[in-house]
Amino acid sequence: MRWLEMVIDVPAQAAEAAAAALLDVVGAGLAWEEREGTVRLRAYLPEEGFEERYRQLGERWRRVRQVFPAVGPWAPAVRARAEEEWAEAWKAYFQPLPVGRRLLVVPSWLRDRTDAGPRIPLILDPGMAFGTGQHASTRLALELLEEALDAMGRAPEAAGSGDALQGPGESRGGAEPTGGPAVAPGDGEPGAGVTVLDVGTGSGILAIAAALLGARPVLGIDVDPVAVKVARENAAVNGVADRVQVAGGTPADLRRQPPAGWSGHLPAAVTVANITAEVLAGMLDDLTALTRPGGVLILSGLLAGAPDTRDLEERGRALGWHVADRRQAEGWEAWRLRRRRT
């Protein structure tokens, strides 16, 4: 398959908004390269259907330009790339990255040259699926997921209820995670026995992290068949294929027909989705139904202060959710939400 690479430079202060606009359409491939005062964005689309999606990108770019006129018109440099070239292009921008208290995200091609120390290595080859850990929205989601699993696993009677998450940790804004030494998965503490649903799993990074942190079973879903394939491969590389199931489809599909063996595990104790506010708003009813009463919903991929983000919070409030913990980094926002029992 041939892909088309679009390259455009934007002012650093507008880069987060511009990247969010591209992710709305691209989803499966966006590289970010910081330069002197600017950020170079590389987005990838398959040649088939390119014209329509290019038009959609232009529409979203115009919205960004209304807020950040300095981004200029939508006029990226476009060139054809072979599928193999795209996969290789990621490697220049992907290095080992510590996340939260216990995880170290390690590119698969650097695994033999990386000492994880006390951290749990999460081996990842993003291939052509979104989710490397390098992006702020993914890091924020990983931090909130780790903390939710820690709290639930250390209070088994509250696992799945969200009750273990009350207390000093709520609404800490951008506070850095704190706590004791790393705990290896399988020691019966963090995340033990907690079911997790990862919506829009991409590379599988969040689903795999949940399993490495002790959650089981874990289900990742994605509408992109490439992402489903990549996530399954990454789960196998990390030795958690027996705990992580990956399936194609949307939350609505999942409600209608859960994968084999999963009907008894839904709704999940923890649901996590790192997408965009606009997309999340459209699936919030389904996410609510797929998260058990008193459970935890983690949403990331939200552009801080954007109208879509405010609208999403209002929509969540109408469904009984409230933001118990709000984190920000590099212009992005992630929430841990709790919902009153019914």
Strands 120-124, 291-303: pairing kind: unpaired
pTM summary value? 0.74
Q: What is the mean pLDDT of residues 213-233?
A: 92
Is the pLDDT assigned to residue 182 strictly greater than 80? Answer: no
Q: Look at 88-102, 183-197, 256-270 and tell me which has the smallest mean pLDDT.
A: 183-197
* Residue 127 CB neighbour total at 10 angstroms: 20
138-149 residue pLDDT tens:
889 999 999 999
pLDDT of residue 4: 87
Q: Are 28 and 131 in contact (CB under 8 A)?
A: no
Q: Are 16 and 302 in contact (CB under 8 A)?
A: no
Q: What is the Cα–Cα distance from 137 to 134, expressed in whole angstroms?
A: 9
The mean of the pLDDT values for the chain is 82
Is the pLDDT assigned to residue 342 strictly greater than 60? Answer: no
pLDDT of residue 183: 34
Q: What's CA 214's distance to the chain center, in Å?
A: 18
Three-state SS at 40: strand
Instruction: Specify which of 14-28, 108-122, 317-331 reaches the highest per-range mean pLDDT.
Output: 317-331
Nearest CA among 227, 274, 279 for reference residue 29: 227
Three-state SS at 200: coil
Q: Look at 23-37, 94-108, 300-314 and tell me which has the smallest mean pLDDT.
A: 23-37
Higher local confidence (pLDDT), 173 or 237: 237
Residue 234 labeled ligand binder:
no
Residue 274 labeled ligand binder:
yes
Is the pLDDT assigned to residue 291 strictly greater than 60? Answer: yes
Residue 286 labeled ligand binder:
no
Q: What domains are there in the chain, each with its CATH number?
A: 2-93 (3.30.70.260), 131-339 (3.40.50.150)
CA triple 299-296-22, angle to 5 deg: 10
Residue 311 labeled ligand binder:
no
Q: Are 129 and 226 in contact (CB under 8 A)?
A: yes
Q: What is the mean pLDDT of residues 325-333?
A: 89
